[in-house]
């Protein structure tokens, strides 16, 4: 079952064409890893999926609804309804520094259009902190946490809104190497629960292990798509081989 269908996506920043006809499919309950050189448009693509960027052309269909169809967006209410189905985790965590860990988790659900009960929000936040191994940090401020702990809070926060799809933009790139493992472990557990995820990453061995589908992007285009076995084991395109150091 298709969760997201992207067709012919175009995005420019002024003169700079960053996405040049990107098409891809994200299936429900699958993990898609996006790899590619810096500047190839990976972040812009993720940000477009959750409407942090507005595209100039092409379509994004989420389930049965179009976020954007042939470059035309629906109403703000429609856009909100669709982006509410997704959560995003950023390279630099983006936690609210003035709120405790629990405050970070509970802010959005308390303010959501359909308000969740306070008791439910609290129970949910404590459960999710346990899930990411941070039960003891609920009342601590982000400045007191390591990078790995911050990122685990960011993942728990994204899960609070019960997203159908989680987007990760280089979730371990800002971390010291010894802290990446604890974040990858959480993502790996979500994959085992069949959470639908799109992960932009430079961690090739992790992508290979956890992803059902790998997308290689270069210069605003999808160059090659395949299973990890196909893409890492037998890349068809010269640019893919060069990126993987196989050329």
User: Interface with ligand ADP by CB under 6 A: which residues?
Assistant: 13, 16, 18, 36, 38-44
Q: Please, which residue, 18 or 156, has the CB nearer to ligand ADP?
A: 18
Nearest to ligand ADP of 43, 59 (CB atom): 43
Give the shortest CB-91-to-ligand ADP separation in angstroms: 9
181 binds, among ligand ADP, Mg ion, none (CB under 5 to 8 A by kind): none
| Two structure tokens written together for 180 | 């990446």
Q: How does DSSP assign 190-238, residue by residue?
A: HHHTT-EEEEE-S-HHHHHHH-SEEEEEETTEEEEEE-HHHHHHS--SH
- 18 or 62: CB nearest ligand ADP: 18
Tell me: does residue 40 bind Mg ion (CB under 5 A).
no
Q: Which range of residues in 43-51, 132-140, 180-188, 229-237 is near Mg ion by CB under 5 A? A: 43-51
> How many residues at the interface with Mg ion, by CB under 5 A?
1
Q: Work out how close the CB of 132 gets to Mg ion at its nearest, in angstroms, rounded to a whole number.
A: 23
CA distances, 54 to each of 12, 41, 71, 178, 199 (Å): 10, 14, 9, 36, 20
Q: Which does 240 bind (CB under 5 to 8 A by kind): Mg ion, ligand ADP, none?
A: none
Closest contact distance (angstroms) between CB of 169 and Mg ion is 6
Query: Binding partner of residue 18 among Mg ion, ligand ADP, none, CB under 5 to 8 Å per kind?
Result: ligand ADP
The DSSP result for 8-37, as a single string, is EEEEEETTEEEEEEEEEEEETT-EEEEE--
Provide the minimum distance between the beta carbon of 200 and Mg ion in the complex, in angstroms, as a whole number: 6
What tokens does 132 get?
Answer: 């990411």
43 touches Mg ion (CB under 5 A): yes
E strand or H helix at 176: none
As a whole number of Å, the end-to-end CA separation of the chain is 35
Whole-angstrom distance, CA of residue 139 vs CA of residue 103 = 8
d(CA 231, CA 222): 13
For the bound state, the minimum distance from the C-beta of residue 81 to ligand ADP, rounded and expressed in Å, comes to 25
Nearer Cβ to ligand ADP, position 40 or 124? 40
- Is residue 172 a contact point for Mg ion (CB under 5 A)? no
CA distance 243 to 82: 34
């Amino acid at each position: 079952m298709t969760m997201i269908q992207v067709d012919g996506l175009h995005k420019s920043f002024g003169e700079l064409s960053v996405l040049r006809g990107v098409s891809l499919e994200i299936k429900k309950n699958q993990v898609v890893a996006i790899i590619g050189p810096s500047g190839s448009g990976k972040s812009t693509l993720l940000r477009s999926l959750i409407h942090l960027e507005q595209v100039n052309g092409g379509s994004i269909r989420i389930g049965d609804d179009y976020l954007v169809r042939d470059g035309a967006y629906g109403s703000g209410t429609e856009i909100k309804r669709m982006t509410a189905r997704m959560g995003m985790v950023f390279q630099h965590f983006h936690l609210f520094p003035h709120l405790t860990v629990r405050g970070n988790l509970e802010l959005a659900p308390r303010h959501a259009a359909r308000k969740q009960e306070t008791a439910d929000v609290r129970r949910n936040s404590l459960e999710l902190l346990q899930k990411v191994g941070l039960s003891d940090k609920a009342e601590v401020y982000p400045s007191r946490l390591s990078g790995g702990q911050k990122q685990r809070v960011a993942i728990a926060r994204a899960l609070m809104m019960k997203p159908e799809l989680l987007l990760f933009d280089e979730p371990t790139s800002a971390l010291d190497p010894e802290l990446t493992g604890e974040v990858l472990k959480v993502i790996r557990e979500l994959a085992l629960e069949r959470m639908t995820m799109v992960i932009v990453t430079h961690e090739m061995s992790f992508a290979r292990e956890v992803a059902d589908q790998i997308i290689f992007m270069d210069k605003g285009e999808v160059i090659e798509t395949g299973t990890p076995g196909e893409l890492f084991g037998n890349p068809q395109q010269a640019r893919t081989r060069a990126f993987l150091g196989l050329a």
